[in-house]
Amino acid sequence: MDVFAERMKIIPRVLNLQNRRRGALLDEQEIEDLAQDTMALVWSKLDVFAGQSSLESWVYPFCLNTMANAVRKKVRRTPALELQADEPQADAPAAAASDRLGYDEVHAALARLGPPRADVIRLKYFDGLTFAEIARRLSVPLDTAKTWYYRGLQFLKEQLQAGAREVEA
Amino acid sequence: MSPHDAAHDEVLFRAMVGDLLPGAPELERILESCSTCRSEWNDFQSVDRALAGAGGEMSRDLELARQSGGTPAEERFAAAIRARAAAQPPSRARRLARAAGFLAAAAALLLLVRHFLGGSSEAPLELLGRGLAIVSPAGTVERYGTFEFRGDLEQGGAFVLRIRDAALGAASEPILSSGRIAALSFTPAPDAEARLPAHILMQLDLYDANGVLRDSRTSEARLARR
């Protein structure tokens, strides 16, 4: 259990990083509570972790999702925070705030896409595997891996376009 | 203008999966003659950039997260996980819920649960890739030199280290590969090392004796000056 608990420390660490990028809207206690909520979510989904990617890569989108929800709730409760939430922070990476929001949406859309197509896309973009390696890892023919990838891209294209239309509206 | 049809879709598919290179005459032809293809292609490129950006941010976050920590809150968090495991073994509910018809899934789950509860140090640890890591180069270095890594390599297994140009992203083709090696280090030829860019992404894959990819780790390094 110690190994698992050690590896799950990635949860509060990622939440802290994401919080700083969003203007430190959540205080230490809120981050601690959010880490517990995220862990509960991860715990409930452990049986779908197939070991295709590293445990940390698998856990990461849960952190983004719970953080985004927590920030939305806090902004709703405290409207004065809205402006602050949209401002990129000094220690933020080069990505613009609009890209940052886009990245959250990418992970959310991948979660909606689900396996096996989302697995192929994650392995290709997040783990840097070639199609041949992906096919071997998923034990499917090469053409199947490519087809899942292409269908996955089509789904993401529609999802991200729908998200962009909502933002514009 | 030519009407969009299944043949056009086939060309777009081949281009997106890398069977056709950007600039290939077949692709250029449909992009010039078909507005639907042009629009589809541009949309795919946007998705491609979004995925690459999200992947890059995730890699950076996970690397930063690995280097940070050590706070009291984090220790409380880890203690809570141990307590949760002791009070509510995650196997029970799932075993009950999936008692019949999901024997294969249950078997895999039990391996995970046994590992999480600290009961075994064999297959579950292998599944989670314990110990697989790229040791050096790490962070900012004067030169890349020898690439060193660690991991439990079974008899007949192999490591493959792939190095990419960070400027081209994690999805780009590797610019240098170790090939299958059974050693814990890889030293590129001097001319190959000299050609490496100032910022590299490293991907270490662990294969078992059957050639099946078991785990993978990524890391990055950059030169102090070039």
CA separation for the pair B158, B211 (Å, rounded):
8
| Distance between CA atoms of residues A30 and A9, nearest Å | 16
Q: Please, which pLDDT band fits residue A14 given cuts at 50, 70 and 90?
A: very high
pLDDT computed for residue B113 by the predictor: 54
- Between positions 129 and 158 of A, the ones with CB within 8 A of B are 129, 131, 133, 136-137, 146, 149-150, 153, 156-157
pLDDT value at A113 more than 80: yes
Alpha carbon distance, N-terminus to C-terminus of chain A:
48
B115 and A3 within 8 Å at the Cβ level: the answer is yes
d(CA A155, CA A160): 9
Q: Is A161 on the interface with B (CB under 8 A)?
A: yes
What pLDDT, on a 0 to 100 scale, did the predictor assign at position A141? 93
CB contact under 8 A, A8 and B78: yes
- CB contact (8 A) between residue B17 and residue A149: yes
Work out the average pLDDT over A123-150: 91
Q: What is the pLDDT of residue A80?
A: 65
Q: Which candidate from B43, B80, B203 shows the least CB-CB separation from A157?
A: B43
Task: Note the residue count of chain B.
Answer: 226
pLDDT of residue A15: 94
Q: CB A106 to CB B50 under 8 A?
A: yes
Q: Which of A56-70, A128-142, B105-119, B174-188 has the lowest mean pLDDT?
A: B105-119
pLDDT tens figures, B34-57: 999 999 999 999 999 999 989 888
Q: What span, in angstroms and rounded, lies between the C-alpha atoms of A55 and A69?
A: 22
Check residue B177 and give its pLDDT.
86
pTM: 0.58
Mutant choice from A126, A146, A148, A155 vs B, greatest count of B C-beta within 10 A: A126
Is the confidence at residue A102, as pLDDT, over 50?
yes
User: Do the chains contact at A150 and B17, CB–CB below 8 Å?
Assistant: yes
Count CB neighbours of B193 within 10 A: 16
Quick one: B16 exposed, middle or buried, by C-beta within 10 A (0-12, 13-18, 19+)? buried
Which pLDDT belongs to residue B42? 92
Chain A and chain B share a number of CB contacts under 8 A equal to 174
Interface list for A 69-88 with B (CB within 8 A): none
pLDDT of A145: 94
* Chain A CB contacts of B64 below 8 Å: 13, 17
For A58, B40, B95, B114, the CA distances from B106, given in Å and listed in that order, are 20, 42, 7, 12
Average pLDDT of adjacent 10-residue blocks, chain B of 226 residues: 84 92 90 93 91 89 84 86 69 43 44 48 35 82 88 81 82 79 87 90 79 74 79
pLDDT(A94) > 50:
no
Q: Is B64 exposed, middle or buried (0-12, 13-18, 19+ CB in 10 A)?
A: middle
Between positions 104 and 123 of B, the ones with CB within 8 A of A are 105, 108-109, 112, 115-118
Angle, in degrees to the nearest 10, between helices B35-67 and A97-113: 100
**DSSP output for B187-202:** ---HHHHHTS-SEEEE
Nearest CA in chain B to A120: B17
User: Which chain B residues are closer than 8 Å to A13 by Cβ?
Assistant: 64-66, 68-69, 74
DSSP state of A24: S
pLDDT exceeds cutoff 80 at A2: no
Q: Are B65 and A2 within 8 A, CB to CB?
A: no
Give yes or no for residue A131 having a pLDDT over 90: yes
Structure tokens at B30: 């449909």
